[in-house]
Structure 1
Amino acid sequence: MKMSPDPDNLAARRQQVVEALRPVLPAGSLLADVEDTRPYECDGLSAYRQLPMVVALPENEQQVIDVLEVCRRLQVPVVPRGAGTGLSGGAMPIVDGLVLSTAKLNRIVRMDPVSRTAIVQPGVRNLAISEAAAPHGLYYAPDPSSQIACSIGGNVAENSGGVHCLKYGLTVHNVLRVRVVTIDGDVVELGSEAPDAPGLDLLAVFIGSEGMLGIVTEVTVKLVPKPAAAQVIMASFDDVVTGGNAVASVIAAGIIPAGLEMMDRTSSRMVEPFVKAGYDTDAAAILLCEADGTALEVAEEIERMSEVLQGAGATAIAVSQNEAERLRFWSGRKNAFPAAGRISPDYYCMDGTIPRKQLGHVLTSIEQMESVYGLRCANVFHAGDGNMHPLILFDANQPGEFERAEEFGAAILALCVEVGGTITGEHGVGIEKINSMCVQFSSAELEAFHAVKRAFDPHRLLNPDKAIPTLNRCAEFGQMHVHAGHLPHAHLPRF
């Protein structure tokens, strides 16, 4: 466990770093006062907070290089940060480290409708890419619920998805090239605008690496044509197992919807007063199934999906009749997280992935866990690809509830591994799931991850102690830290 530095030593260290960075950054791009650094103390996982020693906001690639040179020379840990919407603590600062924010690298460098690509800097918002491409009849497909705020650099770091990832893929499927500054100050390009790039496929290694391998300064993304038409089916089910099995039935029928999402009754009732999406709040579960394409293709797919869903036990089916209603259906799903605040003082958003055929079993198991841990859980899913987002509801003001929420979440992740899934789909590991990595991966596998980290970052300065646990950590937590009776992240400040 790393000890916090002495306050006097930390102040002297801060002054040393500030003096070294001042010549390479413009005024307003270097923050060291508590009042200025407070907004950077956490990301979307606000349960864990730590004031950074210094925050740097470079405005161009050369300034990124210069900041990293100073940090390398002075051996200062660097925590990369995008928009701060991440949900796994990946951008939580280190007490004696520097937060490198890419917020000021926010230009769309080039929009090329002919090649259907866009070159953007990492601070560009996800939705801003689609807004800029709209006049050309194009858009950027990955659409996380936070797309109005999250940045493309953060999407690259976490391999973000969204409600349309089943048909159009995650970030890794929609990024062609990234330009990266390494901790040694080298500028490298991974991937290519061509169908393939020479050498190892390091682009796929880098996407989802959570800021541990380099700092992104430019991203080339694919754009896709905006569909001529789209409609959404809302199908109701009288129990979650039937609803889960219906998801598998749709895919088994050879249908790949543009989106296939599932919400349980707790989620629907939580969202409906907030958004008024028109959800069936009496149903035990609802599925949202979208078809897009030409008008004829959409009509045919809606008919086919309706038949499959009815055969799978749907008790009611409603189809969006216009674009406004379609957007309203999706607005409910995309606002599930903020709507949780209407029924609970706090919530803990989990992220795991399971085989589609296990949806019913896992949902039933989560319902049983609610009694074990004495907490409610609202379930929302990217059901088409098995990516779960259980929302564990708790009150941080009640002693022990946050600890129980974490234990509940760890148990859900262990269940995901048990049924053949993984501990994360698109939120990353960060600090939140680092102990659960010990559940999923062997010592040899973890050492391979560390070897990749060392190849990119031999100084171990980029986002250290995130995502990949040490073998000592796994031993300390007895592989499964909840069963061993240890509190996760006991060394981190809370609330």
Structure 2
Amino acid sequence: MSTLTLPDPDRAVLARRNDIVRQLKRLVPEAILITDLEGRRTFETDALTAYRRVPLAVVLPGTTEEVSAVLRFCHDNHVKVVPRGAGTSLSGGALPLEDSVVLCLSRMNKVLEIDTANRVARVEAGITNVAVTEAASGNGFFYAPDPSSQIACTVGGNVATNSGGAHCLKYGVTVNNVLGVRMVMMDGEVVDFGGTHLEAPGYDVLPLIVGSEGQLGVVTEVTVRLLKAPEGSRPILLGFDSTDAAASCVAAIIAAGIVPVAIEFMDRPAIHVCEHFVAAGYPLDAEALLIVEVEGSEDEIEYLLEKVEDIARDFFPSSVRRSQSAAESAAIWKGRKAAFGAIGQLSDYYCMDGVIPLSKLSKALDEIGWICRKYRFDVANIFHAGDGNLHPLILYNANDSIQLERVELCGAEILKLCVELGGCLTGEHGVGIEKRELMYLQYSDEDIDQQVRIKEAFDPSWLLNPGKVFPIEGRDARKMRGLDMHGIEPEPAEGHHAP
């Protein structure tokens, strides 16, 4: 690969860039180093495609030792590093800076150990979420967190954002299913946190690492809990004439003490798009649809579905249909899992991620509709209703700069609403760059300062995934470290606002 060149840069800047590339070529095999412009553009964005930045270089390590060597070099040379998995982040969490090295762990995708006796699996961070369950399913086990992007998203990325999924209502999100990680610190030191047991000796650091968005270290291996696969499971489809009735039904199911595996919500626009996409048998006359799945023995499933149906009758459902076969269940879930892709065929969309108390679900949906109408956008609501994790999809034209600015304002107002209703800014997508300036909606100066202190304890020079999570507005000089360019100027920006 050729030495990195840029159009008309300052000589000192170009010399530093080329020097970094030359040293990286001596450090790692050239086959895992990408420095040409076309290759680097492959990593210029993530699923939040409104933002684009071309990194200085990309390294595709295959081992923890290679990760350690790259981080040690970047630490010693004050080079920023952006860890990356599959790039499915919806908050700009994997967006690079122009003077950063992207460390993409997609080659580290092996299952290292399946221990069914202790119900754990040890995997590399680049393995896809669904591949963990596939590896364990032959022994009758599964890995619980199941993001909609589970076919593509990686376990390391799930750890970074504390991902959830449809079935996490019963089994919890990533932090509830991770027992240990191997993490490389910014200076190259390799550290193991947790282990193979529910309780590990020493301080419980794992909850800090899970959800830290690659700002504390680079996770290369993860030890996850495996759960015994249930005897059976089956969903029921409940159609309603209003979103208010559907939302009230969700709250009533949870209040009754029933804990389904999942309660998923879809409004009319989402129902029609998904039904057209996969022909799942969704009721097209409904204003809102609930997918409620329960599990257990066949007798237990029948009992729970009867209870759910009894509760739903109080809200006058327009349709009730229990799945009668494994094929029918698979079709129902295929429609839900394909929802984002189905809507993406029709329009660009801005996917929000906020959390509200279940008692405020009906109010939240009404307000979201009003906010989107105010900004002149259509919206489709598809989300994990059981735990109040909202995912409004705001439909807009990403090539229209005016619409792009309006959709960001619209999304910010929705997230502000979530906080005002007693919820929070993110359920599973993380803060990234999308929500960093909104952090003050939820946290005081003192709260954010405490989080900054934790960041600095792990990464004093702010080299790991800088420019994410923490608000730039109002930062003092100490918190701004790592955001100056250290002699490297950015390439011409593409897309919308600079991160």
Which of the five TM-score ranges fits, normalised by the shorter chain?
Answer: over 0.9
The equivalent of 1:373 in structure 2 is 375
Quickly say closer, same or farther: Cα 1:323–1:10, change in 2 above 3 A: farther
Aligned amino acid, residue 51 of structure 2? Y
What's the CA shift for 1:198? 2.2
Provide the identity percentage: 47
* More displaced 10-residue stretch of structure 1: 63-72 or 189-198: 189-198
Q: Deviations over 1:344-363 (max 9, x none)?
A: 2x111110000011110010
Listed as ranges, the matches of 1:276-355 within 5 Å are 276-344=279-347, 346-355=348-357
Listed as ranges, the matches of 1:393-432 within 5 Å are 393-432=395-434
CA contact (8 A) 2:437 2:472 kept: no
Q: Deviations over 1:364-410 (max 9, x none)?
A: 11111122100001001100000000000001233411111111100
CA contact (8 A) 1:14 1:32 kept: no
C-alpha separation between the residues in 2 aligned to 1:315 and 1:7?
67
Q: Deviations over 1:294-338 (max 9, x none)?
A: 212111111111111112332221111101111111111111111
Q: Deviations over 1:411-434 (max 9, x none)?
A: 000000000000100000100111
Q: Deviations over 1:248-272 (max 9, x none)?
A: 1000000000011101111111211
Moved over 6 A (4+): none
CA contact (8 A) 1:144 1:163 kept: yes
The alignment status of 1:81 with 2:84, answered yes or no, reads yes
What's the CA shift for 1:342? 3.3
How many pairs are equivalent?
475
CA contact (8 A) 1:443 1:471 kept: no
The equivalent of 1:213 in structure 2 is 216
Q: Deviations over 1:118-140 (max 9, x none)?
A: 10000111111111111101111
Q: Aligned-residue CA RMSD in angstroms?
A: 1.6
C-alpha separation between the residues in 1 aligned to 2:311 and 2:8?
61
Aligned amino acid, residue 383 of structure 1? A
Aligned amino acid, residue 164 of structure 1? H
What's the CA shift for 1:470? 3.9
CA contact (8 A) 1:48 1:494 kept: yes
C-alpha separation between the residues in 2 aligned to 1:110 and 1:134?
14
The alignment status of 1:494 with 2:495, answered yes or no, reads yes
CA contact (8 A) 1:14 1:54 kept: no
What's the CA shift for 1:27? 2.7
Quickly say closer, same or farther: Cα 1:214–1:163, change in 2 above 3 A: same
Q: Deviations over 1:225-249 (max 9, x none)?
A: 1112111011011111111111110
CA contact (8 A) 1:140 1:223 kept: yes
The alignment status of 1:253 with 2:261, answered yes or no, reads no
What's the CA shift for 1:185? 1.7
C-alpha separation between the residues in 1 aligned to 2:234 and 2:54?
46
| Unpaired runs of at least 5, structure 2 | 1-6, 477-491
Structure 2 counterpart of 1:111, from 105, 114, 118: 114
The equivalent of 1:449 in structure 2 is 451
Quickly say closer, same or farther: Cα 1:12–1:112, change in 2 above 3 A: same
Q: What TM-score do the two structures reach when normalised by structure 1?
A: 0.93
The equivalent of 2:3 in structure 1 is none
Listed as ranges, the matches of 1:8-407 within 5 Å are 8-344=11-347, 346-407=348-409
The equivalent of 1:483 in structure 2 is none
* More displaced 10-residue stretch of structure 1: 265-274 or 186-195: 186-195
What's the CA shift for 1:492? 6.4
Aligned amino acid, residue 198 of structure 2? P
What's the CA shift for 1:34? 0.5
What's the CA shift for 1:9? 4.1
Q: What TM-score do the two structures reach when normalised by structure 2?
A: 0.93
* More displaced 10-residue stretch of structure 1: 15-24 or 101-110: 15-24
C-alpha separation between the residues in 1 aligned to 2:310 and 2:450?
47
Aligned amino acid, residue 148 of structure 1? I
| Unpaired runs of at least 5, structure 1 | 475-490
C-alpha separation between the residues in 2 aligned to 1:293 and 1:8?
67
CA contact (8 A) 1:127 1:147 kept: yes
The equivalent of 1:464 in structure 2 is 466
CA contact (8 A) 2:129 2:146 kept: yes
SS of the residue aligned with 2:138? helix
C-alpha separation between the residues in 2 aligned to 1:178 and 1:407?
37
Quickly say closer, same or farther: Cα 1:7–1:117, change in 2 above 3 A: farther
C-alpha separation between the residues in 2 aligned to 1:352 and 1:268?
21
CA contact (8 A) 1:212 1:453 kept: yes
CA contact (8 A) 2:438 2:471 kept: no
SS of the residue aligned with 1:40? coil
The equivalent of 2:4 in structure 1 is none
Aligned amino acid, residue 70 of structure 1? F
Quickly say closer, same or farther: Cα 1:236–1:5, change in 2 above 3 A: farther
Q: Deviations over 1:22-73 (max 9, x none)?
A: 2221231111110111110011111100000010111111111110111011
